[in-house]
Amino acid sequence: MNTLWRHYAGRFMRAFGASLLILTLLVIAVDTLLELDEIPDGENTFAAIAIRIGLRTLSQYLTYLVPAATFAATFVTVAQGARAREIIALKAGGVNPLVALAPVFAGALLAGIGLALVHETAGVRAAAELATLTGVTRGEVTRAGSIWYSSGRVIYSAREADPEGERVADIQVLERDENGHLLREIQAERAVRLSSQQWRFENAVVRTFEPDAPTTPPRFERGAELTLELATDPTPRLHQDELAALSLPTLGDYVSAVIAAGGSPGPARFAFHQRASAPALSFLFALLAVPLALSIETTGALARRALQGVLWVALFMFLRDAAGTFAKSGGSAAVWLPWATMGSFFLLTSVRLARTPR
């Protein structure tokens, strides 16, 4: 069995490397042709073009390339065995083909984990550089124990919030005037949002400042329960490219801070859950490819099964990205849509695998 596992592991690794290389070169070639017009005249050099395309590949395309390469590698690996009658020989010897293909599933799982590690390091840095080059960066969100979030004239920091953002713990609020001068600082152990701008703070300390008299000491107010009205300002949202430049933990803290501040996280909440579920994509596509490739043993229809697999992958990617349209507000749909899409395809592939002859 060890020899058999090494055989399939080696075949999968070779197919995965070749598939990833071919797909990457194809995407780079197409991207180069489509994006040449967007390069500023002053930067229309080979080096500038190569840098932009490299950054886009790392930050945007890699999350699609690795799962697609995993599907292709899995399909080729299993299809070769099916056409060479290896699967029939395994069944005749009393070996379950799915057990023999365990290295393929393990390789797909490792590909997903590796993709997550690369994307959360090099991919995030590439997205930040790309956002700077394209001029969409308007500020910086940092993470140092807690996240600070600016909502117009009010800056919030909260250690944690419930899913709907109605109750928060360990909250700190800085309120400014129209000129950016500090008006009020609020620190509280807990807070409850009563309306869009009205909060009830528990065990709170409020410091009130006089912008016109900066040398005047602030007024202190302490209370076991204080109800205060904060400044009304529209809640700003980060650009999609700015969201891509945040690591997953920072993005999660940003979403929690926006909800705690009474704002709407918009597409940020969907982006967080979509990225959190992304490492499972490679494994899902491997599960999708195996029954299609095994069916070649009886039908011999290699091209047709390959086309069916491509259509299934394209359908999943379309549904996964289209779900963002229904989750733009950042409500509960932004949480369950990415996982529901993934779960429905896992159920589909599980049923197909269960029906595969052994």
Q: Is the model more confident about 231 or about 215?
A: 215
pLDDT, tens digit, 9 for 90 and up, residues 220-234: 888 888 888 776 554
The amino acid occupying position 73 is A
Distance, CA of 352 to chain centre: 27
What angle is formed at CA 18 by the lines to CA 48 and CA 9, rounded to 5 degrees?
Answer: 135
Give domain limits for the chain: 2-137+271-354, 143-265
pLDDT, tens digit, 9 for 90 and up, residues 66-92: 999 999 999 999 988 888 787 778 777
- Return d(Cα 63, Cα 271) in angstroms, integer: 13
- Three-class DSSP category at 81: helix
pLDDT category at 245 given cuts 50, 70, 90 is: confident
- Return d(Cα 211, Cα 40) in angstroms, integer: 44
CA-based nearest residue to 340, from 352, 322, 355, 328: 322
Q: Which of 30-34, 236-240, 285-289, 317-321 has the lowest mean pLDDT?
A: 236-240
Residue 43 pLDDT exceeds 60? no
Q: Is the model more confident about 97 or about 341?
A: 341
Locus of tokens 């920072």? 250
Q: Is the model more confident about 112 or about 332?
A: 112
pLDDT of residue 76: 92
pLDDT, tens digit, 9 for 90 and up, residues 256-311: 777 766 666 778 888 888 888 888 999 999 999 998 888 887 766 788 888 888 99
Average pLDDT for residues 138-152, to the nearest whole number? 55
